[in-house]
Structure 1
């Protein structure tokens, strides 16, 4: 698969504009539901719409969400199986080699710890247990640990398994499929054009290649990005278009937590409405795939968190890798107050 990511191309005037009636978003939703994808210009217009258009955008986006997911919400539980000690220089990450943030540092956890976390995921109503290590890619020891623990978790708990192990080669992807991993997470994070501003120790193409190995092995691809890293609107749309072309199954959308001690310390230009427009744009671009509100939702969406679920159909429950999340009881109450329901069905 070739991915066109030339965000430097000259764009035509957006089809949407603040002067057009808000009913145009509803028309776009109908267009998507009729099988006609939104264009780059239309996606940009959603992302750059005035804040006064947010209610209309969310209402239109909900029509798409409701068609494919009804009022269900999928919960994902994140487990940091190996923390710190990463040789990569991703500027947003507290675990990277260029970070001075005080984070736990440990090699991959032992079986009992991973099983205990799986039990917690099940108790909290998660559909997917996300096993994460900080690394450029998994060592042989780490691969074997995953191969041993995944069948045991799946035998005991009704959980899907998502592995986030860094860059993978074909053999490693095949081994993960063989041991029972359902999906692999490897985020594109931003556009190809902007990627060098975020990381220099590997490339955007490296990340795309890992996703291709995952797809070839027969696992689902989980890939999204981070909003708020000084990217342009066109970068965000390019990332969405690339994810659509790749055919990813699950899209986690993070909002930058500018952690002290990282190169992106103090970087923040997000508002709740900007985050909501980004979520909605992804729903319009990739209408029938799991869209997950991920890291930073508590900080940047704040009191508007519930509105994100009118277009997203998934979220993390509990804490993130090195930062705290909203209490699980608060998440469940938020979902209940919306009239939505948590689904734990493993397909």
Structure 2
């Protein structure tokens, strides 16, 4: 493959001005020679520093409902097509959800993410989340992100009224690759839910999972799609191929490619919160810290069905970089 070089500082300046990168420029980031990796990351850092300085936002997930999902997402250990041995339980009670928020506060987390498996919440589940959110918001200065699947307009409005600050619904992959990953709902269903969340007044959060067979062109297309959605927060996940899932043998990533993907997302979505999400530890490996030169946000603690790095190690990593944890400001 012919590698493409670029004037990386010029791309950084273009991004800071809010100008959209051309497809060729986005591909240049992804296909840069590894010897140019630090230059690429420096360009991403110029943009990150312009908008966020050296602050790092922390997020914590609680797996509020595990397994029991009728969807056939090929990457997910909780899906109906997975035979992975994962915990299966209905939506956690209000007290457990509130206890998770207290744990998040202890870890200096700014955004507490309530995530539930399933296509979308039942009315009972929605009410259970709403009750917990109201009590959390009364007790502590914390942003709450809900990720409950596909929403109706009414459900989105009720979550907003209860105090949910942000709603997450990832695009997961490109429109062209979507049917190869999921067939029980559509790419358009996901876009629609993000738009409904935004219309309700909640901050829209949407990202994707790299490493599911998408081409470089499709990764750039995803970055553009998220820019067009105007997602405030963009979680960048890296596939953790879990045994027992249809994508268990997928192994398309290496740490340097993951860094270039993060740099691309920063350059295409310069002012947005870029969050390093699931699969960080196993895909970035010893280069995890470098990811924060592009991203300004990470998840701490465990993910849904996989373990994360110890939260104290994350705090140490941030300190070693000379960065600082951003205190939540509501």
TM range (shorter): over 0.9
Q: Is the 8 A contact 2:4 2:33 kept in 1?
A: no
Alignment of 1:322 with 2:308, yes or no, is no
* Superposition deviation, residue 154 in structure 1: 1.0
Residue 285 of structure 2 is matched in structure 1 by: 302
Q: Secondary structure at the match of 2:151?
A: coil
Residue 169 of structure 1 corresponds to 152
Distance 1:129 1:99 in 2: 27
Aligned with 1:332 (options 291, 315, 324) = 315
Q: Return the offset for 1:18.
A: 4.2
Summarize deviations over 1:310-329 as a string: whole Å, max 9, x none: 01000001000000000011
Q: Distance in 2 between matches of 1:52 and 1:198?
A: 33
Match of residue 128, structure 1, among 111, 114, 125: 111
Residue 309 of structure 1 aligns to a residue whose secondary structure is: helix
Q: Secondary structure at the match of 1:301?
A: helix
Alpha-carbon distance in structure 2 between the residues aligned to 1:314 and 1:292: 4
Distance in 1 (CA, whole Å) between partners of 2:140 and 2:305 is 25
Alignment of 1:141-160 (within 5 A): 141-160=124-143
Paired position in structure 2 for 1:185: 168
Indicate yes or no: 2:38 matched with 1:35. no
- For residue 184 of structure 2, the aligned residue among 191, 194, 201 is 201
Q: Which consecutive unaligned segments of at least 5 residues does structure 1 have? A: 1-16
CA distance in 1, matches of 2:306, 2:194: 26
Tell me the equivalent position of 2:200. 217
The Cα of 1:35 is off from its aligned counterpart by 2.9
Matched, 1:85 2:68: yes
SS in 2 for 1:73: strand
What is the CA distance between 1:346 and its match in structure 2?
Answer: 2.3
In structure 2, runs of 5+ residues without a counterpart are none
Q: Secondary structure at the match of 2:293?
A: coil
Match of 1:104 in 2: 87
Corresponding pairs, count: 329
| Alpha-carbon offset, residue 108 of structure 1 | 0.5
**Equivalent in 214, 233, 245 of residue 228 of structure 2:** 245
The alignment's TM-score, normalised by the length of structure 2, stands at 0.98
Distance of 1:191 and 1:325 partners within structure 2: 26
Provide Cα deviations, 1:206-237, integer angstroms capped at 9, x if missing partner. 00010111111011111000000011011111
* Moved beyond 4 Å, runs of 4+: 17-20
The CA RMSD measured in Å over matched residues stands at 1.0
Measured after TM superposition, the shift of residue 34 of structure 1 is 2.5
SS in 1 for 2:237: strand
Q: Following the alignment from structure 2 to structure 1, what is the Cα–Cα distance between the partners of residues 232 and 52? A: 13
In structure 2, the partner of 1:13 is: none
Distance 1:74 1:123 in 2: 14
Q: Is the 8 A contact 2:111 2:145 kept in 1?
A: yes
Q: Distance in 1 between matches of 2:250 and 2:147?
A: 26
Q: What's the secondary structure of 2:146's corresponding residue?
A: strand
| 2:250 maps to 1:267 | yes
Q: State how far apart, in whole Å, the 2-side matches of 1:109 and 1:28 are.
A: 46
